[in-house]
Amino acid sequence: MEINLMKSTVVISLLIVAVFGDCGVHQSLDIVFVYNLNVSQADFYDQISFITRHADLLYLHADHTNIAGIGLNDSAHYGWGLRDYFTSTNISTKMNNLTIGVGNGTSDLSPAIDMAWNNILSKNTRSDSTPWLFVNTDTYTMSTTII
C-alpha cells in the first residue's frame, strides 16, 4: 500500500507540474476520488488511508488543490464537494462516519463518473480550475456512462 501511495502521489505531483509548468504552488487542480463502499472494513480503511495521505501530501486550499469524494456501491453517493473540506483530518472524519456494506468488492463505476461530472466537475464551482483528475481507489466494473 505504501509504495503504491508514494507512486500515485509522485504521478499526481508530476501532473501538476506538467499542467502548470512549475511546481504547482499557487495553482488550481481539482481531484475527485471514488471510494468503494462495497468492501470489507479493512479494505475500506486502506481507501481512507490512501485518500487522506494524498490530502496530507498535497496543498489543499480554496485557491489551490481541492479534493472531492464519491462513494460507490450499487449506486453513487455524494461524499463531499471540492469546497467542503481542506484538511486530511476533515476528510478522514467524514469517511470514518460512512456506513459500508460488506459485499463482493465489485461496484459499477459508471454512476460515479456521471456524478463526478454532473454534480462536481461541470458545476464550474471554481472558474480558475480547469484541470482535474479522476482517481478510482477500488472498483472493478464499468457499464455505460452518459458523459
Q: Which domains does the chain have, with CATH numbers?
A: 2-8+33-136 (3.40.50.410)
Q: What is the mean pLDDT of each run of 10 residues along the chain (147 residues)?
A: 54 56 56 87 86 82 83 85 83 86 71 85 62 74 56
> Which pLDDT belongs to residue 37?
86
> Which pLDDT belongs to residue 1?
46
C-alpha cell at 69: 469524494
Q: In the chain, what's the furthest Cα-to-Cα distance? A: 43
> Which pLDDT belongs to residue 21?
47
> Which pLDDT belongs to residue 70?
92
- The sign one gets for the Cα dihedral 91, 121, 58, 127 is negative
Q: Which residues of 117-127 are buried (b: 16+ CB within 10 A; e: fewer)?
A: beebbeeeebe
According to DSSP, the residues that pair with 70 across neighbouring strands are: 34, 78
> Which pLDDT belongs to residue 12?
63
> Which pLDDT belongs to residue 18?
53
Pick from 32, 30, 29: which is nearest to 79 by CA?
A: 32
Instruction: Give the predicted TM-score (pTM) of the model.
Output: 0.75
